[in-house]
Amino acid sequence: KQEVTQIPAALSVPEGENLVLNCSFTDSAIYNLQWFRQDPGKGLTSLLLIQSSQREQTSGRLNASLDKSSGRSTLYIAASQPGDSATYLCAVRRRGSNYKLTFGKGTLLTVNP
């Protein structure tokens, strides 16, 4: 059974700092990995999707990497801003015809002005 772990559970940083969020998964037979952002009481916004054949994806100040063999992904946020404050979730989709995503519990990020 796939298990996804996110460390740390919470992170507080001053504005402008670069930061890294970590995600690990137990079953390396994944099809892709997706990073989401969730604001309090809201739905999920997709940030980046990395296919299993890829090593990283970039969007603006965000960079996600994937090391499938070690079961790890990182989300790097450059020059953090107070508006980045949210919960960040990673989710993996298993290889095969199964389309469901297995999520971690998320990292609650607070960026202080």
Partner 1 sequence: DTGVSQNPRHKITKRGQNVTFRCDPISEHNRLYWYRQTLGQGPEFLTYFQNEAQLEKSRLLSDRFSAERPKGSFSTLEIQRTEQGDSAMYLCASSAPGDHEQYFGPGTRLTVT
Sole residue written with tokens 């607070």: 110
- Part of the chain binding partner 1 (CB under 8 A), chosen from 55-63, 64-72, 73-81, 100-108: 100-108
- How many angstroms separate the CA atoms of 111 and 102, rounded? 27
With vertex at residue 108, the alpha carbon angle to CA 110 and CA 43, rounded to the nearest 5 degrees, is 110
- Part of the chain binding partner 1 (CB under 8 A), chosen from 13-21, 27-35, 60-68, 71-79: 27-35
Q: Cα 90 from chain centroid?
A: 4
Q: How many CB atoms lie within 10 A of CB 45?
A: 11
CB contact set of 70 (below 8 Å; sequence gap of 6+) = none
Map the footprint of partner 1 across residues 66-95, applying CB under 8 A.
89, 91, 93
What's phi and psi for 40, nearest 5 deg? -55, 125
- Part of the chain binding partner 1 (CB under 8 A), chosen from 11-19, 54-62, 78-86, 104-112: 104-112
Residue number, 41 or 113, with CB nearest to partner 1: 41
Contact flag: residue 106 with partner 1 (CB under 8 A): yes
Q: Which of 18, 26, 42, 70 binds partner 1 (CB under 8 A)?
A: 42
Site residues for partner 1 per CB under 8 A = 4, 31-32, 34, 36, 41-46, 49, 51, 89, 91, 93, 98-106
